[in-house]
């Protein structure tokens, strides 16, 4: 297997995984970030976002001298491959902000070595790779380089596993030699490489996330109908997934909305690009609108059972974007809780991994490390993030902490199989689409 010297630029979630992962594949990797504090922490073996197995990978590969970290872009001069791994900024309006990427190329273009390969894995709109190439050609017309787009497909909370066990790797490139080089890089993974045009690879990322968002929006509609007619969306979902044309892995989890910015970002990109080309996308537009109004369901359901929320104490369990991670960035709970507060509720919070100081900065609410302390004196417990730790709760003890009407609001149908037990204990159980 041919081994390369690779610079991974941008050391947040995407970059921390790719730098450690590529080093583990046997390449010499230098992770680069302008934030000296982040670099200093990496040099101590501390990544910015915790992922299962990541700290061990960093320790192993820094020990073998295959992985190092720097804040100096001058390191690019010694690298065969420059891997763009910025986590693209997403605004509160779900629109991409590419300033990190353009600021990087403004400086880095002058540092790239001849015949280097630029690999973009940052989440960029279709057409951006072409603009990057044009920018570099204009700034350094004498530079020979290639560019590939390899969209990331990491799952937050399971990112190390996602990197080492991909079902396939999409590679957008104009030359077969570039495809071959990417194949060489990932040889130890023994996975399928899907070569295509750069624009097709860019669009595939938007299409994938938009398809997942569409699946969720669809099951939200079905959940609403199920609720109106006495059906159970969990049972309907089971029937759908049993059809081989749909499959067990289908994104069909009824809830009060998806979050994180990732899915919404790609919906917004498709809508913008289609609008620029005077193309109407009613399905994508509908998905975006459906998810936006979904945020109001938490307050709606709670109000129906508590009559009004003024002065009512509500315990919210699960603040992070998803289970298995400590990040609060664009988490669903951070969108729901302000609506409850606006309705006059007193909100108390708990999460197994969230940083209390970060919670304090993000929300004007009390945070408890102990779930029972959090629930004490509350009329309702709202499960937002599906942490496995919540399945281990002593439900009788939890109920004893609450006040009437002992609401157990399961916003993701996470406790579906335990509903009878929950009701028998004396909770009022609320699910979605049931």
Angle at 118 between CA 155 and CA 120, to 5 degrees: 25
Counting every residue written for the chain, the total comes to: 434
Residues 73 and 180 in one domain: yes
CATH number of domain containing 362: 3.40.50.720
Q: Pick from 134, 135, 273, 129: which is nearest to 202 by CA?
A: 129
Pair 314, 386 in one domain = yes
As a whole number of Å, the end-to-end CA separation of the chain is: 54
Q: How many helices (H) and strands (E) does the chain have?
A: 17, 16
Between CA 341 and CA 383 the distance in angstroms is 17
Q: Are residues 158 and 274 in the same domain?
A: no
Neighbours of 65 (CB within 10 A): 9
The answer to whether the beta carbons of residues 256 and 217 sit under 8 Å apart is: no
Would you call 255 exposed, middle or buried from its count of C-beta atoms within 10 A (0-12, 13-18, 19+)? Answer: buried
| Residue 268, C-beta contacts closer than 8 angstroms, at least 6 positions apart | 93, 94, 95, 96, 288
- Among the candidates 251, 270, 291, a domain finishes at 291
| Cα distances (angstroms) measured from residue 54 to each of 42, 152, 162, 320, 365 | 11, 17, 12, 19, 32
Domain check: are 267 and 318 in the same one? Answer: no
Residues 235 and 361 in one domain: no
Yes or no: say if 139 and 110 are a contact pair by the CB < 8 Å rule: yes
Angle (CA) 233-235-236 rounded to 5° is: 60
Same domain flag for 240 and 262: yes
State residue 92's pLDDT score.
78
In the prediction, which pLDDT does 316 show?
99
Domain that holds residue 51: 5-196
For residue 286, what are its two tokens? 């509908």
Q: What is the pLDDT of residue 108?
A: 96
Q: Is the peptide bond before 145 cis (omega within 30 degrees of 0)?
A: no
Determine the Cα angle at 78 with ends 77 and 80, to 5°.
100
Verify that 96 and 235 share a domain, yes or no.
no
**In 3-state terms, what secondary structure has residue 160?**
helix
Q: Look at residues 240, 268, 273 and name the one whose alpha carbon lies nearest to residue 254.
A: 240
Sign of CA dihedral 221, 222, 224, 229: positive
Tell me, yes or no, whether 304 and 286 share the same domain: no
Clarify whether residues 375 and 344 are in a common domain: yes
Report mean pLDDT in 10-residue bins for the chain, 434 residues.
95 97 98 97 94 96 98 96 93 86 96 98 97 98 98 92 97 98 97 98 97 97 97 98 97 92 91 96 95 93 95 98 87 96 98 95 97 98 97 98 98 96 98 96
Torsion of CA 278, 120, 151, 149, to 10 degrees: 70
Alpha helices in 11-140 (DSSP H): 13-24, 36-43, 54-63, 99-108, 128-139
- Which of 100, 95, 200, 113 is closest to 150 using CA atoms? 200
Answer yes or no: are the C-beta atoms of 379 and 405 closer than 8 Å: yes
One domain, residues 140 and 218:
no
Total of domains in the chain: 3
CA pair distance 355, 327, nearest whole angstrom: 8
Let me know whether 314 and 181 are in one domain: no
- Bridge pairing between strands 168-173 and 96-97: unpaired
pTM of the model: 0.92
Strand order from edge to edge, sheet including 81-84 = 67-70, 28-32, 5-9, 81-84, 116-120, 145-149, 168-173, 192-196
Distance CA 222, CA 216 (A): 10
Q: What is the CATH number of the domain that holds 236?
A: 1.10.1040.10
Beta strands in 81-221 (DSSP E): 81-84, 89-90, 96-97, 116-120, 145-149, 168-173, 192-196
Assess contact for 214 and 283: CB atoms under 8 A.
yes
Structural domain ending residue among the three candidates 291, 325, 346: 291
From the list 199, 181, 157, the residue with the least C-alpha distance to 320 is 157
Q: Are 18 and 156 contained in the same domain?
A: yes
* Domain termination site, one of 141, 172, 196: 196
> Which pLDDT does position 423 carry in this prediction?
98
């Amino acid at each position: 297997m041919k081994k390369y010297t690779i610079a991974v630029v941008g050391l947040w979630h995407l970059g921390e995984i790719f730098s450690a992962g590529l080093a583990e594949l046997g390449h010499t990797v230098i992770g680069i970030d302008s934030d000296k504090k982040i670099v200093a922490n990496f040099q101590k073996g501390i990544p910015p976002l915790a992922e299962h197995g990541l700290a061990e990978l960093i320790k192993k590969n820094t020990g073998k001298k295959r992985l190092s970290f720097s804040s100096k872009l001058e390191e690019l001069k010694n690298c065969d491959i420059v891997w763009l791994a910025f986590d693209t900024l997403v605004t509160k309006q779900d629109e991409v902000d590419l300033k990190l990427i353009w600021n990087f190329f403004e400086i880095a273009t002058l540092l790239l070595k001849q015949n280097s390969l630029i690999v973009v894995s940052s989440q960029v709109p279709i057409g951006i790779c072409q603009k990057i190439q044009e920018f570099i050609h204009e700034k350094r017309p004498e530079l020979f380089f290639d560019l590939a787009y390899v969209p990331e497909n990491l799952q937050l909370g399971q990112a190390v596993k996602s990197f080492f066990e991909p079902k396939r790797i999409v590679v957008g490139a104009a030359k077969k030699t570039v495809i071959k080089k990417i194949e060489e890089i990932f040889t130890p993974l023994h996975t399928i490489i899907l070569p295509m045009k750069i624009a097709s690879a860019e669009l595939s990322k938007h299409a994938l996330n938009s398809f997942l968002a569409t699946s969720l929006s669809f099951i939200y509609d079905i959940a609403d109908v199920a609720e109106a007619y006495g059906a159970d969306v969990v049972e309907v979902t089971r029937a759908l997934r049993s059809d081989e044309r749909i499959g067990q892995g289908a994104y069909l989890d009824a809830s009060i909305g998806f979050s994180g910015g990732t899915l919404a970002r790609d919906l917004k990109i498709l809508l913008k690009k289609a609008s620029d080309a005077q193309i109407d996308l009613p399905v994508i537009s509908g998905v975006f609108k459906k998810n936006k109004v979904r945020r109001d369901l938490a307050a709606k359901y709670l109000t129906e059972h508590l009559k009004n929320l003024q002065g009512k104490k509500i315990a919210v369990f699960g603040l992070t974007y998803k289970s298995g991670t400590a990040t609060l960035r664009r988490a669903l709970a951070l969108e729901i809780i302000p609506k409850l507060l606006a309705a006059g509720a007193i909100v108390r919070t708990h999460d197994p991994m969230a940083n209390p100081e970060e919670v304090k900065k993000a929300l004007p609410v009390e945070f408890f490390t102990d779930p029972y302390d959090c629930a004490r004196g509350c009329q309702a417990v709202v499960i937002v993030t599906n942490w496995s730790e919540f399945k281990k709760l002593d439900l009788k003890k939890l109920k004893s902490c609450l006040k009437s009407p002992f609401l157990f609001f399961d916003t993701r149908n996470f406790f579906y199989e335990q509903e009878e037990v929950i009701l028998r204990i004396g909770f009022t159980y609320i699910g979605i689409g049931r």
